[in-house]
Amino acid sequence: MNIEEYAFLYKSTLLKNVLPFWENHSLDHKHGGYFTCLDREGKVYDTDKFIWLQCRQVWLFSMLYNNMEPRQEWLEIAEHGARFLINNGMDKAGNWYFSLTREGKPLVQPYNIFSDCFAAMAFAQLGKASGNEAYSNLAKKTFLNILGRKENPKGKYEKSFPGTRPAKGFALPMILSNLVLELEHVLDVSLVNETIAFATKEVMDIFYRKEHGLIVETVAADGSFMDTFDGRLVNPGHGLESMWFMMDIGRRNGDNKLVEKTVDISFNILDFGWDQKCGGIFYFKDLLGNPPDRLDWDQKLWWVHQEAILAMLKGYAYTGNEKCWEWFRKLHDYTWEHFADKKYGEWFGYLNRQGGVLLPLKGGKWKGCFHTPRFLYQGWNTLNQINKNNK
């Protein structure tokens, strides 16, 4: 296929296949919010509501309204979820719970700062889409709460014993590098620049281990390498997702060196994470080649491959490096062959190592209306940019 054909495929799949699946099956018209536990055909198999996924769906439809087309039905779907979240999603201190019952009663405490991250994303985009300043103010308030908790994200819910092996994780600086750009229109310029500088340093100088050319999930509190299960753990999907976040920052700041470095690191991650025997990208690997402690290490996950594709598309759009295009085609062929459901809408999420469907669900506790539609939108948008670059 040529670039225009790829772009048409991504856009048409988004509008005619993936979005209708969520529009038709996920809205809870009785209690508000969204069902995310959907089987292959879209039937609800569990009614609990997970704040990550509620927020991500609000963000997705708000983002499409802002960036693709101002369809009234998209705005209405976003506000449908937002009302449920505002009424039920926070404790008295403004921290966002992890999960709720269908009716909105708290199930799991706000032990995880990522609920707050996705809430900030959601309400920043919805504020822009709706013009409702209250949404934007909630996004800013939540973001400031995140920054206040970033040195101790889990607070009283931290389960590790204090002082024995102090460590910090990759997920928060990775998310902040994208989140701050999502909220740029509601934040002070100085705070935006400070957060970008913090996230970039953490991702590129601390969690990127230059001696190995790879990104690890955990480092010691002082930034040094830990030769432990956690310290050696590599999640290729996180690494590749963070690299396109960094590419966007580099593009924003006119930092071509940063963009070039992210492309090189992306190649390292792909070479390390690619399954030479069965194809696809491993979920986890040990940095030093030891057996990982994650029993799902050899599964193939939808979002890992989608983020890899976006890293290669953006790398090609921003640098013209032909190796990015070669990897894109290889990743595209594997991903569309194995994850796209050729009979029903949306995509499978979980494959075994050989590429067979491990779970036929389309949504659950961790998979919702986020990675696949974001990937299709970003892919279509970046392919259009590449097409313009080539003319």
Question: pLDDT tens, 14-65?
Answer: 999 999 999 999 999 999 999 999 999 999 999 999 999 999 999 999 999 9
Whole-angstrom distance, CA of residue 273 vs CA of residue 270: 5
Residue 119 belongs to some domain of the structure: no
154 — pLDDT class (breaks 50, 70, 90) = confident
Give the three-class secondary structure for 100. strand
Residue 84 belongs to some domain of the structure: no
Residue 367 belongs to some domain of the structure: no
213 — pLDDT class (breaks 50, 70, 90) = very high
Asked if the model's pLDDT at residue 159 lies above 90, the reply is: no
Residue 71 belongs to some domain of the structure: no
Residue 184 belongs to some domain of the structure: yes
350 — pLDDT class (breaks 50, 70, 90) = very high
Nearest to 379 by CA among 345, 337, 335, 338: 335
Are the C-beta atoms of residues 310 and 273 closer than 8 Å to each other?
no
What are the backbone angles phi and psi of residue 158, rounded to the nearest 5°?
-65, 125
Whole-angstrom distance, CA of residue 74 vs CA of residue 60: 9
How confident is the model at residue 158, as a pLDDT?
Answer: 85
How confident is the model at residue 66, as a pLDDT?
Answer: 98
Question: Which residues on neighbouring strands pair with residue 340, listed in sequence order?
Answer: 347
Chain position carrying tokens 């976003």: 78
How confident is the model at residue 156, as a pLDDT?
Answer: 84
Percent of the chain with pLDDT over 70: 100
Whole-angstrom distance, CA of residue 327 vs CA of residue 274: 11
Asked if the model's pLDDT at residue 151 lies above 90, the reply is: no
Whole-angstrom distance, CA of residue 309 vs CA of residue 315: 10
Q: Which residue has the higher pLDDT, 174 or 149?
A: 174
344 burial level (CB within 10 Å; 0-12, 13-18, 19+): middle
The pairing of strands 208-209 and 214-215 is antiparallel
Q: At 286, which CATH number?
A: 1.50.10.10
* The two three-digit tokens of residue 367, written as one number: 């998979």
Residue 381 belongs to some domain of the structure: no
How confident is the model at residue 376, as a pLDDT?
Answer: 98
Q: How many domains does the chain have?
A: 1
What are the pLDDT digits (tens) for 82-128? 999 999 999 999 999 999 999 999 999 999 899 999 999 999 999 99
How confident is the model at residue 150, as a pLDDT?
Answer: 85
Residue 47 belongs to some domain of the structure: no
What are the pLDDT digits (tens) for 239-292? 999 999 999 999 999 999 999 999 999 999 999 999 999 999 999 999 999 999
How confident is the model at residue 262, as a pLDDT?
Answer: 98
Residue 52 belongs to some domain of the structure: no
Domain that holds residue 257: 168-339
Whole-angstrom distance, CA of residue 22 vs CA of residue 57: 9
Mean pLDDT of the chain: 97
How confident is the model at residue 72, as a pLDDT?
Answer: 98
